Amino acid sequence: MEEALIKVKDLCKIYNPGENEVRALDHVNLEIQKGEFVAIIGQSGSGKSTFMNMLGCLDVPTSGEYYLNGTDVSTMKDNELSVVRNREIGFIFQGFNLIANLTAIENVELPLIYRGIDRKTRRNLAIESLKMVGLEKRLHHKPNEMSGGQQQRVAIARAIAAKPPVILADEPTGNLDSASSREILGILKDMHKTGKTIILITHDNGIADQAKRVVRIMDGKIESDTINEKFEEIRA
């Protein structure tokens, strides 16, 4: 069997070590294979945000190992982490995180500039990913000229433009109305159909139920890890 794309072994994150320590993550073990669609669900204070920071290479654990695409990233320094993050992960955030004075296409091109991709290739990748999210007619619109749902679609296009192995979506529908939320989840499902690995972080059962596999986290531990039997019919 192919090596797991994500492999977490005995992961701990402790804040304020000592008497008043907080174990945000407490000996977590998890494997995610290439092409999976996984929701990680937990309430506020469950450890899910800390876990997202670990998976996204935004922070390192107190102890334990994290292998991303075969590389142990758990002991990397900040500068090494940023290289891995830029290469391996496409982020989609609740707050869109678009640059206000850049157009849709310029926002999508930004991470490609960091990766040293030449201008022509960059432009083509940006147009291709904006087409994938149905925004080919909005290439030159700025964020304030678009709805929340459209802004989140730009953010998705930015996440997928460089074709990273992992898409990490943190509460991607948190700021959207129900119609836009359905639209965004539909795009994530379509991306999964093309073979992308999607990790969806949420506190909402209804959102988590859209994924094929649901990992519940509570008090810094994985409480359950189940396959969503209804996934195929939901997807249809």
pLDDT of 3 over the 90 cut = no
Is 1's pLDDT higher than 80?
Answer: no
Own/partner contacts of 206-211, CB < 8 Å, gap of 24 or more, are 207/39, 207/173, 207/181, 208/39, 208/41, 209/39, 209/234, 210/39, 210/185, 210/234, 211/37, 211/38, 211/39
Cβ burial, residue 233 (10 Å; 0-12/13-18/19+): exposed
Predicted pLDDT of residue 96:
85
Q: How far is 11 from 30, CA to CA, in rounded Å?
A: 9
Contacts of 77 (CB under 8 A, 6+ apart): none
Mean pLDDT of the 158-181 span? 91
Task: Return the pLDDT at 20.
Answer: 86
User: Residue 19: what pLDDT?
Assistant: 82
What is this structure's pTM? 0.90
Domain boundaries, the chain: 6-94+165-235
pLDDT at 235: 46
Taking only the tens place, the pLDDT of each residue in 215-235 is: 999 999 999 999 988 776 444
Give me the architecture of the 6-94+165-235 domain, per CATH.
3-Layer(aba) Sandwich (3.40)
- Residue 167's pLDDT is 95
- In angstroms, the Cα distances linking 46 to 26, 132, 223 are 11, 34, 10
d(CA 28, CA 39): 16
pLDDT tens digit sequence for 118-160? 999 999 999 999 999 999 999 999 999 999 999 999 999 999 9
Work out the mean pLDDT of the chain and round it to a whole number.
92
For residue 86, what pLDDT band results from cuts at 50, 70 and 90? confident
Per cent of the chain over pLDDT 70 is 97
- Model pLDDT, residue 232: 64
